[in-house]
């Protein structure tokens, strides 16, 4: 057979020189890629999360250690919500399953938290792309809209950059907090609704509502719409309400006899606003995003009215409703801290991405006399001014990571100390006493509830009961058993100076009385 014969089939067919025999496998591969592309994206996000955690070398904040304790206690039928952190079913549910893996639960939760948090950029980008692509035009404006929308979600900041204590959303992400995760779940619910996955949208909203009660407003609206328009989904509304009531109020009633334990604790927050609560809440929301991003979100809302794009108008309305709801909570006495406003801030960033895409497509939608390219300079200027801001956020986050790594080192020291002393010996001396920031960490390493660990040294030192005082030092932890003669369990007096080598610090950790 000659080369001419081999090449002859490639001249057949409509698509040029490749014949049908060559096109079919390629079409099948393309179909498989389109079918599983978002699974590949999910795997990529998980891989990036693992790499990011290995590089950053951070540990969870105060609350996540408490959630890990809850998971451990559940399987031992000793769940106690009496101590901090505040009850949050959103974080409790996955940690119940992770508790089955022992000490690996810590890493599993961190990977889950970081991966879900980073996925907020993916869902934000999907929403911005879809709503921009519907306007027609070339392919690249929706892509840029997706990039801007996703980046804006990751650009949320806790406090004005002018303030020394401000942090980006990455601080909460790398400390395994739930707030960035709830942003992702809310955006995922919106994304599912836009593509017609109404059931997925509802249950994602229910799950988000297990983390932030502000979501209940949207669940009520969505539930009424389902009851009226979707008879086959009505059972979901009843089930979702039962799930919400059981986890928010039923579990605390069963474990502690206080169905509103979360609300009671929130009312006692030291971060409550004491000045003008309405203005203060609005100011907290204002400082969550870079001002040009917020301006572009307003542009998206105005253009949505001009174009009669009621989907985008509804999204802008969701931002307003959340902020109004938060104001109502603050007026009731809840703290209304900035991270409770991350969700509307994330949606505001998506709106900014949509505005960018619309500006790049066709400015004649604003006014028929405007040239099609009139919005391009505006979008380009917006992106240009955001780049230095992104660099500033990155520098601020790098500085925060350095501090978090130092905290990780201290947590490892504390864990090594507790392991060496032994939990039973510590309990025989009345239990541990630490500064409040390490209480949940000590609870994780000892298996004690945070409510069982003393955290007010000034008061405890004046008492007569025995206690093991963990004192943070620049080079380690000083461990001082106080009043061991008053201990009722033998073994308390055996605590003594120790020099503890660890895997991360082979030269040892200084521990002494």
Average pLDDT over residues 402-429: 89
Percent of the chain with pLDDT over 90: 58
CA distance 427 to 468: 8
- Is the peptide bond preceding residue 85 cis, with omega within 30 degrees of 0? yes
CA distance 430 to 466: 5
pTM, two decimal places: 0.89
pLDDT in tens, 468-490: 889 888 777 888 888 877 776 76
Say which range, 18-22, 314-318, 445-449, 455-459, has the weakest mean pLDDT: 18-22
The DSSP code for 512 is E
Per-residue pLDDT at 430 exceeds 60: yes
Contacts for 226-231: CB closer than 8 Å, 24+ residues apart:
226/198, 226/202, 230/198
Per-residue pLDDT at 117 exceeds 70: yes
pLDDT of residue 15: 39
Q: Single out the residue of 507, 482, 477 nearest to residue 493, CA to CA.
A: 482
Map residue 510 onto helix, strand or coil.
Answer: strand
> Which residue is associated with the tokens 């009633």?
253
pLDDT of residue 365: 67
pLDDT in tens, 290-328: 999 999 999 999 999 988 999 999 999 999 999 999 999
pLDDT of residue 6: 37
pLDDT of residue 161: 59
Query: 345 or 35: whose pLDDT is higher?
Result: 345
pLDDT of residue 20: 44
The DSSP code for 168 is E
CA distance 54 to 274: 41
Residue 378 and residue 359 in contact, taking contact as beta carbons nearer than 8 Å:
yes
pLDDT in tens, 63-81: 999 999 999 999 999 898 8
pLDDT in tens, 341-369: 999 999 999 999 999 999 998 776 666 77
pLDDT of residue 7: 38
pLDDT of residue 259: 87
Which range among 210-214, 395-399, 496-500 has the greatest average pLDDT? Answer: 210-214
Q: Single out the residue of 392, 383, 284, 303 nearest to residue 351, CA to CA.
A: 303
pLDDT of residue 509: 55
pLDDT of residue 26: 60
Q: Single out the residue of 172, 209, 181, 90 nearest to residue 337, CA to CA.
A: 172
Q: How does the average pLDDT of the chain come out, rounded?
A: 87
């Amino acid at each position: 057979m000659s080369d001419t014969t081999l090449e002859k089939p490639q001249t057949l067919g409509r698509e040029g020189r490749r014949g049908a025999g060559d096109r079919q496998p390629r079409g099948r591969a393309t179909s498989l890629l389109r079918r599983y592309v978002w699974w590949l994206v999910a795997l990529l996000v998980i891989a990036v999360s693992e790499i990011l955690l290995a590089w950053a070398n951070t540990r969870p904040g105060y609350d996540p250690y408490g959630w890990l304790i809850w998971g451990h206690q559940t399987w031992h039928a000793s769940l106690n919500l009496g101590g901090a952190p505040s009850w949050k079913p959103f974080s409790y549910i996955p940690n119940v399953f992770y508790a089955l893996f022992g000490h690996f639960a810590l890493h599993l939760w961190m990977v889950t938290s970081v991966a879900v948090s980073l996925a907020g950029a993916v869902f934000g980008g999907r929403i911005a792309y879809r709503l921009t692509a519907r306007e027609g035009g070339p392919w690249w404006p929706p892509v840029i809209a997706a990039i801007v929308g996703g980046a804006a979600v990751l650009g949320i900041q806790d406090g004005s950059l002018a303030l020394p204590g401000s942090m980006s959303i990455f601080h909460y992400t790398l400390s395994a907090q739930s707030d960035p995760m709830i942003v992702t779940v809310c955006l995922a619910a919106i994304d599912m609704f836009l593509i017609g996955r109404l059931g997925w949208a509802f249950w994602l909203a229910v799950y988000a509502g297990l983390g932030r009660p502000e979501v209940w407003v949207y669940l009520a609206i969505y539930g009424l719409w389902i009851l009226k328009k979707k008879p086959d989904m009505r059972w979901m509304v009843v089930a979702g309400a039962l799930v919400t009531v059981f986890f928010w109020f039923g579990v605390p009633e069963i474990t502690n006899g206080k169905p509103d334990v979360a609300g009671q604790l929130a009312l006692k927050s030291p971060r409550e606003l004491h000045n003008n609560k309405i203005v203060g809440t609005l100011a907290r929301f204002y400082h969550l995003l870079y001002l040009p991003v917020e301006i572009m979100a307003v542009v998206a809302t105005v253009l949505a009215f001009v174009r009669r794009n009621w989907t985008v108008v509804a999204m802008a309305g969701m931002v307003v409703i959340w902020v109004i709801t938060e104001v109502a909570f603050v007026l009731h006495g809840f703290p209304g801290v900035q991270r409770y406003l991350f969700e509307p801030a994330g949606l505001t960033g998506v709106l900014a991405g949509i505005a960018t895409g619309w500006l790049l497509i066709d400015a004649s939608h604003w006014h028929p006399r405007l040239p099609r390219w009139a919005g391009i300079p505006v979008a380009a200027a917006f992106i240009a001014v955001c780049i230095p801001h992104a660099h500033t956020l990155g520098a601020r986050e790098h500085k925060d990571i350095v501090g978090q790594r130092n905290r990780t080192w201290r947590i490892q020291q504390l864990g090594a100390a507790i392991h060496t002393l032994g939990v039973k010996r510590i309990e025989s001396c009345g239990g541990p006493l630490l500064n409040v920031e390490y209480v949940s960490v000590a609870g994780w390493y000892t298996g004690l509830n945070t409510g069982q660990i003393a955290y007010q040294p000034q008061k405890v030192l004046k008492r007569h009961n025995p206690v093991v005082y963990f004192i943070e030092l620049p080079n380690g932890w000083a461990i001082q058993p106080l009043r061991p003669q008053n201990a009722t369990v033998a073994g308390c007096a055996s605590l003594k100076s120790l020099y503890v080598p660890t895997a991360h610090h082979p030269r040892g950790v200084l521990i002494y009385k």
